[in-house]
Amino acid sequence: MKKLVASLSAGSLILTAFTATTATAGPQAPTTRPTASPPKQATSVGYGGAVSSVDADATNIGLDVLRRGGNAVDAAVATAAALGVTEPYSAGIGGGGYFVYYNAKSRKVFTIDGRETAPATMPSNAFIDPSTGQPYPFAQLVTSGVSIGVPGTLATWDRALKKWGSLSLGKALKPAADLAERGFVVDPTFRLQTMENKTRFAQVVPTAKLFLPNGDAPQVGTVFKNPELAATYKLIGRQGPSVFYGGPLAREMAAVAQNPPKTADATLPFFSGYLRPSDLAAYRAIDRTPTKVRYDGLDVYGMPPSSSGGTTVGEALNILQPQHIRRMSATQALHTYFEASALAFADRGAYVGDSAYVDVPVQELLSKGFGAERSCLIDPQHAATKPVPAGSPDGDYSRCGKGSAVDQRVDTEGPSTTHMVAADKWGNVVSYTLTIEQTGGSGITVPGRGFLLNNELTDFSAVPDPKDPNRVEAGKRPRSSMSPTIVLRGGRPYLALGSPGGSTIITTVLQTLTNRLDRGMTLPEAVAAPRASQRNTASVTAEQAFIDRYGAALTPYGHTFTPAGAPGTSAAEIGAVAALEFLPGGAILAAAEPTRRGGGAAGTASPFRVR
């Protein structure tokens, strides 16, 4: 059906003549062997709901759910389950995550904490080599049983569907099970990530069997199938989460954590872990009150502890608010963004951990007074010497910048993870970040089940310092940087976004927000812009494109830059944003990465087709 409109504006995005496709029952999931990857579209505008993720198969599954009458939560769970198939090194039922949800009927934001937990028998010195008194090498901890936390992803899906969804868990998992059974076409990103993990994958019997057939990573253009994961999804669909948290799957996960299935010629030590079936039986996804700050008339909601995302993004916005960066040049705005981020990261390291174990001063960290006290430390012409000390969120903000003597600690959070967003025709919105931590998680696949287990416990600080809010403790959730975010304007959704990237998630979300809200960029421009991450370190980690464009102008301020990762590796990029913007008249703009991680996939249920 063709319609002509005078214009529809979203920032500088102007749409004139367009064709709106009719929303039928939606495409059927293909049952034949795929011959090519679905086309990826980084931007889509339309009606009837939207989904954005890093993967086209996953996005299409979410859109199909919406077109068949499912809501945003149904679509989010179906999309996430599909990401467990096509993005198995970043997400899956062997990991955890954070689910942020806007309910259109109540006009309220809710969150679910599905973060992994430390097993009940895990000691505080689990990462310390008794022969030296020093932490084991990080690479050894990653690929081991000791890094495996109790998975929370499946509990998150089940809880979200029961609270707000319209589909059963089995129906939500079915499209992903079908995808795993028929397979997907291997792209360069999947092969690259497999090759980057080949050395450790080859030392784990079930992992090598699944991901290194014939001793090599799957070739680009071939079809990768995971019938074991398909069977696991179907089993869970029939019997429910109890088969995972209290049945044979629980026993199998505990067994491989305690005795990793290494090859006879393995060179890694594969430390035994502490996971027990009782830990899985005791696991619960937790409803939490979201964080909230007011920024230029908008309400910005995020994830509270155990994540540090909501508090750190929120505090940084409060620090930026008095600076009015929208009035600044690009160089001045970026300098101010770096300084605000460093200050917020100092407070993150000093005060944020699992709130069941640590008295996190969330209200004070997010107060306007504390933000102003930290903001006044920013020198408009000179970068502060890093690391900067933490502040004092004590309620007394009469003096500028009084500080704390809390030590700064090394951050070891892995760079992988994935993020997706979904919205439906009723106005409900989901922003969901999920992970297995490092690219490839622990490297340990549950035999015969088709999924990798996480290495989330490496997010704890290795040294058991009693003053560290993120020290290892039994039953505790390690601090995370995942920052699923929903922004409201006048009580209605305006933006939803998030990203993978370890601790750079926080700066990626913050930079994308300021790009859109303060620097005059459209949402697609804000997502595509080159990134840099200042996490209270001596040098700013930046993509090479950022250094090339802004490095010379920012050097006189005292900023130095370290290129992200190594050229030709997935680590050379920072983040992979998926985002939505809600336009006047009920339309939605869905945005994904145009190039990072091979480019993302954004779609709307009934898209405009610009002529």
- Could you tell me which of 152, 167, 187 has the C-alpha nearest to residue 62? 167
**Dihedrals phi, psi of 556, to nearest 5 degrees:** -60, -20
Angle at the Cα of 51 from the Cα atoms of 46 and 54, rounded to 5 degrees: 125
**Dihedrals phi, psi of 91, to nearest 5 degrees:** -155, 175
CB 212 within 8 A of CB 201: yes
CB 38 within 8 A of CB 596: no
**Dihedrals phi, psi of 410, to nearest 5 degrees:** -70, 135
**Residue 219 CA from chain centroid, whole number:** 27
Angle at the Cα of 236 from the Cα atoms of 232 and 238, rounded to 5 degrees: 115
**Dihedrals phi, psi of 374, to nearest 5 degrees:** -80, -35
DSSP string, 258-323: HS--B-TT--S--------HHHHHH---EEEPPEEEEETTEEEEE--TTBSHHHHHHHHHHHHGGG
**Dihedrals phi, psi of 77, to nearest 5 degrees:** -65, -45
Q: Look at strands 96-103 and 108-114 and give their pairing.
A: antiparallel
Instruction: Give me the count of residues in the chain.
Output: 611
Q: In a 3-state reduction of DSSP, which class is residue 46?
A: strand
Q: In a 3-state reduction of DSSP, which class is residue 439?
A: coil
Dig out the tokens for 29 from the structure.
Answer: 């999931």
CB 100 within 8 A of CB 111: yes
- Could you tell me which of 379, 394, 387 has the C-alpha nearest to residue 342? 387
Q: Using only the alpha carbons of the chain, give its radius of gyration.
A: 23
- According to DSSP, residue 117 is labeled B
DSSP string, 318-364: HHHGGG-GGGS-HHHHHHHHHHHHHHHHHHHHHH-S-TTTS---HHH
| Set 417, 435, 445, 522: catalytic member | 417
Q: How far apart are CA 308 and CA 156, in angstroms?
A: 19
| Long-range contacts of the stretch 266-270 (C-beta < 8 A, 24+) | 266/203, 266/204, 267/203, 268/139, 268/140, 268/143, 268/144, 268/200, 268/203, 269/140, 269/144, 270/143, 270/144, 270/145, 270/203
Residues 6+ apart with CB under 8 A from 465: 409, 471
Angle at the Cα of 340 from the Cα atoms of 485 and 289, rounded to 5 degrees: 30
Dig out the tokens for 58 from the structure.
Answer: 């996953």
Q: In a 3-state reduction of DSSP, which class is residue 535?
A: coil
Dig out the tokens for 204 from the structure.
Answer: 């784990």
Task: Provide the strand spans (E) within 475-577.
Answer: 485-489, 492-498, 532-533, 540-542, 561-563
Residue 417 annotated in active site: yes
Active site residues: 417
